[in-house]
Amino acid sequence: MGALCTAMAVAALLALVVLRVRAGDRVPPLDLRVLRGRGVVMAAAAILLVQTASTLWYFTTVILRRTYQLDDTSIALVFVPVQVAGVLGGWLGGWMMRRLGAPLAAALLLVPAGVAGGSRSSWTGPPRCLSW
Amino acid sequence: MSVVVTWMAVWSLLTLAAVGPVTAVFMGFAPAGGKGAASSTRNAVSSIGVTLGGVVMSLLVFAALGTSVSSSLQARGVPQAQADVVGAALQDGLRVPDLPYVAGLSSPGLREALQSQGPVMLEGRDRAYDTSGIIAISASMLAALLMFGVWRRTRRAGPLDSAGVPE
Structure confidence by residue, pLDDT tens digits, A20-71: 777 666 666 667 777 778 888 899 999 999 988 888 888 788 878 877 788 8
Q: Would you call B48 an interface residue with chain A, using a CB distance cutoff of 8 Å? A: yes
Q: Does residue B112 register a pLDDT over 90? A: no
**Which residue would you say has higher pLDDT here, A46 or B111?**
A46
Q: Nearest CA to A16 among A3, A2, A40, A35?
A: A35
Instruction: Answer yes or no: are the C-beta atoms of B61 and A59 closer than 8 Å.
Output: yes
CA dihedral A42, A48, A54, A58 (to 10 degrees): -160
Q: What is the pLDDT of residue B128?
A: 84
Q: Would you call A10 an interface residue with chain B, using a CB distance cutoff of 8 Å? A: no
How far off is chain A from B146, nearest CA to CA, in Å? 6
- Write down the ipTM of this complex: 0.81
Mean pLDDT of A76-95: 92
Cβ contact (<8 Å) for B154 and A101? yes
Cβ contact (<8 Å) for A82 and B12? yes
Instruction: Answer yes or no: are the C-beta atoms of B14 and A116 closer than 8 Å.
Output: yes
Q: What are the boundaries of each domain within chain B? A: 51-154
Nearest C-alpha in A relative to B34: A34
Nearest C-alpha in B relative to A93: B17
Q: Nearest CA to A108 among B65, B20, B133?
A: B20
A123: which chain B residues are within 8 Å (Cβ-Cβ)?
3-4, 7
Mean pLDDT of A68-78: 87
Task: Give which of B3, B13, B90, B138 to mutate to test A binding, by max A Cβ within 10 Å.
Answer: B13
How far off is chain B from A31, nearest CA to CA, in Å? 6
Sign of CA dihedral B99, B101, B105, B108: positive
Q: Nearest CA to B25 among A101, A102, A99, A51?
A: A102
Which ranges in A1-132 belong to alpha helices (H)?
A: 2-23, 38-54, 56-66, 72-100, 102-118
Q: Nearest CA to A52 among B144, B143, B139, B62?
A: B139
Over residues B42-101, the pLDDT tens digits come to 888 898 888 888 888 888 888 888 898 888 888 888 888 888 888 888 887 777 777 767
Note the Cα B40 to chain centre separation in Å: 25
Sign of CA dihedral B108, B111, B112, B113: positive
CA dihedral A9, A11, A12, A17 (to 10 degrees): 130
